Chain A
Amino acid sequence: MYLYLPIALTSINILIPVGLGLAVGLLSGLFGVGGGFLLTPLLIMFGIPSTVAAATDSNQIVAASTSGTYAHWRVGNVDFKMGLYLLVGGFAGGIVGVQAIKLLHAMGNADFVIKITYILMLGIVGVYMFIESLQSMRKKKDGAAEEAKEEKESAMGRFLHSLPLQTRFEKSGITHSVFVPIVLGGFVGILAAIMGVGGGFLMVPIMVYLLRMPMHVVVGTSLFQILFTCIEVTFLQAYTNHSVDFLLAVLLLVGSTVGAQIGTVFGRKLKAEQLKILLAGIVLAVTVKIVFEVTLTPALLLSQVGGH
């Protein structure tokens, strides 16, 4: 059955957005990522104009992350205190990132910087997560401990603990200076604004490897932070660009809210290393896709203005 989308000005088989929403909601519930880096290009592929795809994606992430945050909160996997500090940093970083992208546009090389940032960030994060989770899985199998890494971690830990305004994050069972999540949140906010995504796939590895939060709390807390970021983005897109397609968002969220719940259930059945290696695999697949995109001759040399 086809439905006409009033803002995208196109007609779509309802099974497509519902199916895409389900798949991305599943990833959201499993890994704590919004899934915008996957969904936006897929919607464009199915004929949705890029500006509408990006804006509507944010709207459906509000639904998926509400569903995911609620499910994780009920099982005690959301660190609200950490989420709020990350959010403060993320908002500030977003403002800096938007100014940076304006400057890059004025200089005329914004697209180059965005694409290279995408490839580097996704590539580094994907490779690091993949290798690290593979090593942890092997170590657990062998029952061996790696001394050198322990020493390196404690050196990093000593630096972080030397910072002022230390505070205890009970839910995560860690102690950090309030500046650590604010600065890291700000860093993700800058990159997210430059890359035009929510930043969940960057936030998750940062919480796991730099903040040393337990994986299951990371997923719930990341979703909590994404929820607020996407509320802000949805409103700004609707208000300034008039590009949120309400009907498309409803079709997507029908799938994504259910997918997020299923993802949360599956996530609890998987071990932290398994979750990390799966996310790393997806991040690497997206990296390879973008590398192909920029190296192979495109079928069309013109595209609509707007979007990514």
Chain B
Amino acid sequence: MKNQFKIQNAKFKFQTEVRKMRVMAALILTFAFCIFQFAFAGTAQAMLTAIANHDHITIDFFYHGSTVSVRGISDPGVDLVIKITSPEGHQVMKQKGKIAGVLWMNVGQLKFEQTPNFYEVFSTKKVEDILSVEEREKYVIGYPALAKHVDITPVANEEEKTKWFDEFVKFKEGSKVYTTSFGKIDTKLNAEGSQDYYILTDWPYQAQPGDYLVSVYAVKDNKVIEQAQAKVNVEQVGMVKTLATMAQNSPAIYGFLSIGVALGAGVGVSMVFRKGGGSH
């Protein structure tokens, strides 16, 4: 009986030791995993975040553009590219050319397909210096990549396509809805050893109402290693929205209203001048 008790006690001690060893092994493995993660932090799916502070821009009568800031956290030491775009669509433009070698006229139309109406790219360094051509084309970053992505018809060859794409960019930059620049993103290391980034950019009043996508790319060794997204919504409100909706949905009423107000203003001002003796 005493011996049986001793055997059971020894068995119990053995099982406890095994459990302890298993726990130790688990702890060692966890520790090793953490060390591994830390050692290869540069290539890990770490922590890229993106927040647009002003993600709902409202357009009222006194709207004259706004500002949008994008902030977030990335791994330390990576370069960043921030791209803000509207959804892609097609745009038709009048094309000017020379007639009889002397006169500049509209000679036809060009259709630009898979083209965003709004395209802004900001980066910590020149995108050509931090991203390979393949990566830029894959993520449509920068004008040369966009040029390759866009379809232009009718054009005879690649040279002509490049010429008209450049003209298109010139037109869009003139309207303040296309821009690319580098060096405007602020980055600094925070207490946790990550990198905080921040950019404040002007939002042009020419940007039409709609949804815009903010894509942030973390870049290392000429490659995009991580990306994060945020959204910006631009919406007409109040009387601006009422008038725009009426013009689209009730064009006859809108037309009569426009004519009525014009006639009323014409007669009204005439009355004022008559009373003031202006027309005599």
- How many residue pairs, one in A and one in B, have C-beta atoms under 8 Å apart? 183
Contact partner of B105 among A66, A115, A239, A302, CB < 8 A? Answer: A115
Contact partner of A257 among B64, B244, B266, CB < 8 A? Answer: B266
Q: Which of B69-77, B142-150, B269-277 lies at the binding interface? A: B269-277
Contact partner of A7 among B164, B209, B243, B273, CB < 8 A? Answer: B243
Given the contacts A67-B270, A295-B103, A301-B167, A239 and B61 also touching, CB distance less than 8 Å: no
Contact A246 B257, beta carbon cutoff 8 Å = yes
Contact B259 A301, beta carbon cutoff 8 Å = no
Contact partner of A305 among B65, B92, B244, B255, CB < 8 A? Answer: B92
Contact B208 A9, beta carbon cutoff 8 Å = yes
Q: By the criterion of a CB under 8 Å from any partner CB, how many residues of chain B are at the interface?
A: 63
Contact partner of B258 among A238, A298, A304, CB < 8 A? Answer: A238
Contact partner of A297 among B61, B104, B106, B209, CB < 8 A? Answer: B104
Contact A300 B174, beta carbon cutoff 8 Å = yes
Bound-complex Cα distance A1 to B64 (A): 10
- Most central of B95, B102, B103 by chain A CB within 10 Å: B103
Contact A4 B59, beta carbon cutoff 8 Å = yes
* Interface bits B75-113 vs A (CB < 8 Å: 1, else 0): 000000000000000001111110100111111111000
Question: Whole-angstrom distance from the CB of A244 to the nearest CB of chain B?
Answer: 5
Given the contacts A6-B243, A71-B270, A303-B93, A244 and B258 also touching, CB distance less than 8 Å: yes
Contact A238 B254, beta carbon cutoff 8 Å = yes
Contact partner of B244 among A7, A47, A74, A303, CB < 8 A? Answer: A7
- Does A172 make an interface contact (CB < 8 A)? no
Contact B105 A112, beta carbon cutoff 8 Å = yes
Chain B residues with CB below 8 A from A69, complex form: 266
* Interface bits A1-39 vs B (CB < 8 Å: 1, else 0): 111101101110000000000000000000000000000
Contact B274 A74, beta carbon cutoff 8 Å = yes
Interface of chain A, helix or strand or loop or mixed?
A: helix
Question: Whole-angstrom distance from the CB of A266 to the nearest CB of chain B?
Answer: 11
* Interface bits B247-267 vs A (CB < 8 Å: 1, else 0): 110011011111101110111
Question: Whole-angstrom distance from the CB of A38 to the nearest CB of chain B?
Answer: 18
Chain B residues with CB below 8 A from A296, complex form: 104
Other contacts beyond A11-B63, A74-B274, A75-B279: 11, CB < 8 A: A59-B258, A63-B262, A66-B267, A67-B269, A67-B270, A69-B266, A70-B267, A242-B248, A246-B261, A247-B243, A261-B273
Give me the 3 closest cross-chain CB pairs, A-B, nearest first: A66-B266, A238-B255, A257-B269
